[in-house]
Amino acid sequence: MGIREFPNGSARGKAASLGMRRSPDVSPRRLSDISPQLRQLKYLVVDEAIKEDLKWSRSVEDLTSASVGLTSIEERILRITGYYGYQPWAASCKRDERSRESPAPAEAQMQAGAEGSGRVNRCCWKCSVMQLKKFFWGVAVVLGVCSSWSGSTQLAKLTFKKFDAPFTLTWFATNWNFLFFPLYYLGHVFKSAEKQSPKQRYRECCRFFGDNGLTLKVFFTKAAPFGVLWTLTNYLYLHAIKKINTTDVSVLFCCNKAFVFLLSWIVLRDRFMGVRIVAAIFAIAGIVMMTYADGFHSHSVIGIALVVGSASTSALYKVLFKLLLGSAKFGEAALFLSVLAVFNVLFVTCIPVILYFTKVEYWSSFDVIPWGNLCGFSILLLTFNILLNFGIAITYPTLISLGIVLSVPVNAVSE
């Protein structure tokens, strides 16, 4: 056999010889299949004579490969028996080639670290540029929201000196909402890569109302209630401007955020937040303190009640929109606001006519109507609503709310 035994291992050698005589059809498939034989042969060594026999069949490198770590008894047995076509010389050659081709571990780590740091720096640079751009857009939106909201408030105050008709002014300004969807479609044409016809875009946005689109039933059940709330919010706000100064109106209307949270907590079951509850309590306390300062029986109480009612209907509008319609995309929101204008023309037009003939809101002739003030107020209110609904696409929502808050000192300066 060419296998030499240790002096104290004769019985083990015989067992090992018998164990190594296996026919090819019963050769083991795993190293664990011959583990008993390997445990019996752990005291055996390879005789020098077998090296001469193996020189003609395979390289001598497999027998002298102890320098590369092949010193275990299992690897020696696999070399001798040739199970699985085991060729350690090929593995050693491959290891040598890989060691020559691959750089040193330290150099590889340095290269990987340099590449990783470069990618991180590029990502950080892109993120910083995007955040800076979004911040500058946010500043522009804040200025636009603040100027349009305070400007519309001051212009409405001037209009009432010549044209005392708050509901007619509300009706006239609401009709301008019809421009929402055409303006959105123009932005879609200039920005989108896939152009769609107005009819295709309209049908796609109509899916917001349901599978059947904007039907007559959907119009009366989902659009009409919001049209009523929209009209009430603007009318109560404009009517309050006639009673109290614009600064107090702006301050009190900012309480609608607190009302939105309270209604969302009750109706939508939103998560309870102690900070917002405290803010709502302070907002309500501020309303009470302002009313107490002017006296509960004074003329300003009516104005305060009108503004609080306007803030409440605004909060109810937002909460019901979330409850009944959910979240809307930009095109869907534009179409919804245009539908409100259609509802205003069809069903609200009769109210200014009734108020005119009953002389509740009366003007002697159409020549005395300050059309410039009416159009200017409508344009500013349209701009405010556009920035309020679409400004979230280019900046943070918090900055948009900040624009409404900043309108308070602007109105105080303009008073």
In degrees, rounded to 5, the angle at the alpha carbon of residue 370 between the alpha carbons of residues 387 and 340 is: 40
Parallel, antiparallel, or unpaired: how do β-strands 3-4 and 45-46 relate?
antiparallel
More confident residue, 190 or 34: 190
C-alpha span between 395 and 391 (Å, rounded):
6
> What DSSP state is assigned to residue 347?
I
**The predicted structure's pLDDT at residue 345:** 95
Cα distances from 184 to residues 29, 208, 330, 388, in angstroms, run 71, 16, 8, 14
| Sign of the four-CA dihedral 75, 78, 84, 86 | positive
Residue 252 burial by Cβ neighbours in a 10 Å radius (0-12, 13-18, 19+): buried
Q: Is the pLDDT of residue 258 over 60?
A: yes
The answer to whether the pTM exceeds 0.85 is no
C-alpha span between 284 and 278 (Å, rounded):
10
CA-based nearest residue to 233, from 57, 62, 384: 384
In degrees, rounded to 5, the angle at the alpha carbon of residue 280 between the alpha carbons of residues 274 and 284 is: 145
Q: Which two tokens stand for residue 14?
A: 């015989």
Give 275-283 contacts, CB < 8 A, sequence gap 24+: 283/254, 283/255, 283/257, 283/258
Report residue 19's pLDDT band, with 50, 70 and 90 as the boundaries.
Answer: very low
Task: Mark residue 196 as left, alpha or beta (left: phi above 0; alpha: psi -120 to 50; beta: remaining).
Answer: beta
Q: Is the pLDDT of residue 198 over 80?
A: yes
C-alpha span between 385 and 233 (Å, rounded):
13
Q: Which two tokens stand for residue 371?
A: 């059309």
Q: Is the pLDDT of residue 43 over 80?
A: no
Chain centroid to Cα 141, Å, comes to 19
Which tens digit of pLDDT belongs to each residue from 331-346?
888 999 999 999 999 9
Which tens digit of pLDDT belongs to each residue from 313-332?
999 998 998 888 887 788 88
Looking up tokens 């410039």 gives 372
**The predicted structure's pLDDT at residue 239:** 93
Which tens digit of pLDDT belongs to each residue from 368-383?
889 999 999 999 999 9
Beta partners for residue 45, in sequence order: 4
Q: Which two tokens stand for residue 251?
A: 């301050």
C-alpha span between 63 and 146 (Å, rounded):
87
362 with 356: CB under 8 angstroms?
A: yes
Q: Which of 85-99, 146-160, 270-284 has the lowest mean pLDDT?
A: 85-99
Most confident listed range (16-20, 219-223, 227-231, 363-367): 227-231
**The predicted structure's pLDDT at residue 116:** 54
Radius of gyration of the chain (CA): 42
Chain centroid to Cα 382, Å, comes to 26
**Mean of per-residue pLDDT scores for the chain:** 75
pLDDT above 70 as % of the chain: 67
**The predicted structure's pLDDT at residue 32:** 54
**The predicted structure's pLDDT at residue 157:** 92
